Amino acid sequence: MSANSMSQTPLVSVIIPCYRQAQFMATAVDSTLAQTYPAVEVLVVNDGSDDDTEAVARRYGERVRYIYRDNGGLPAARNTGIAQARGAYLKFLDADDHLHPEQIAWQMAALGGRDDCLSLTGVRLYREDNPGQHEDHVPLASDLMRFMLSLDDTWLPPNAYLVPIGMVRAVNGFDESLRYFEDWEFFSRVALREPGVLVDPRVGAYYRLRCGSMSAQREGMTVTRAGLLIKLHDTLRSMERREWFGIDLLKAEQGAYQSLIALGAGTSELRTALLSRIKELQAREGFGSYGWRFQLLARLMGYARAERIRCGVIRWLGKKAPETLDTGAWREVRSS
């Protein structure tokens, strides 16, 4: 076991980037200051915001470390916080979200000072206009890479995670070129280092669903995810890890391709690149648990044309596209 010996009570740094979200930020900061874990520092990174972000942060005095930077986007703001953090563990909390008061205590107890593991808690997604309408998500993860591949649009927000700072710095933080899916991309790179994953099923993270939030910008996120999967596909192929380069990756890629078709998103080059990788995996894994009707259609007309027909039928019926055409469970990954 690898253990962090910096302190019997290691410091946790909570990084809160803010751009034009001053109206929500006090809730995020208050939830951090209310943590029962005794060693927490709060860093508010003002990403060039022209609202009351500074005024809100300054109200807390020395309880909050306030950092200003020119606007560079969410990944850059988080990286600024990483560079300034003093803690042995990091939590990334968006300014419009918040934490359960015991979340960090739960996670630090689970980690027990280890720096080769990260911790996850359950998440509550709630509607801003109706907080009583919510969904709770409990991460079922033991292998972080397979978990990341299993995630779609209900991915866990970053405030569900607690990560050793060495693990974050080892992957050089967040990709500042990304506007969407920077969380998924970051944790996918962390996953390549094969950390242990410790899950507490209790709801510790709260994620606000609101009009205009990044999760509502579907087309851009769909295109970004497709591009990231292409890049990850090539990385995993080179690693020759059967448990990663298999059915979970295929499912993720097929889901991304379905979304591109359904939304009419992405360039033809992007679709072609993703399709070639899907076909590479289908040659090894088949079609997963797609039903026999779709499999027959795909074999007669080709997978891409079958997906276009499927999406056309769904649009004609006026129904939301499901993750797969049929409801059967995907088969388990075959042992390597």
pLDDT tens string 78-114: 999 999 999 999 999 999 999 999 999 999 999 999 9
Tell whether the torsion through CA atoms of 266, 145, 279 and 311 is positive or negative: negative
3-state helix, strand, coil in the chain (%, to 5): 45, 20, 35
Per-residue pLDDT of 76-86, as tens digits, reads 999 999 999 99
Tell me how far apart the alpha carbons of residues 324 and 336 are, in angstroms, rounded to a whole number.
25
Q: Enter the tokens of residue 224.
A: 């970004």
Position 208 pLDDT exceeds 50: yes
Strand extents, DSSP E, the chain: 12-18, 40-47, 64-69, 89-92, 98-99, 117-127, 130-137, 161-164, 196-209
Tell me the pTM: 0.87
Lowest mean pLDDT among 15-29, 209-223, 312-326: 312-326
| % of the chain exceeding 70 in pLDDT | 88
Confidence of residue 7 (pLDDT cuts 50, 70, 90): low
Residue pLDDT, tens place only, 26-57: 999 999 999 999 999 999 999 999 999 999 99
Report d(CA 229, CA 257) in Å as an integer. Answer: 10
Q: What is the mean pLDDT of residues 58-65?
A: 97
Q: Are 66 and 174 in contact, with CB atoms under 8 Å apart?
A: no
pLDDT digits (tens, 9 = 90+) for 23-32: 999 999 999 9
| 148-160 pLDDT tens trace | 998 765 568 999 9
CA 247, CA 287: separation in Å to the nearest integer?
A: 9
Query: In this predicted model, what pLDDT tens digit does every residue of 229-268 receive, in sequence order?
Result: 999 999 999 998 888 999 999 999 998 998 898 888 889 9
Question: 59 is written with which tokens?
Answer: 């109200």
The answer to whether residues 145 and 36 touch, using CB atoms and an 8 Å cutoff, is: no
Q: DSSP secondary structure string, 140-172?
A: --SSHHHHHHH--TTPPPGGGEEEEHHHHHHTT
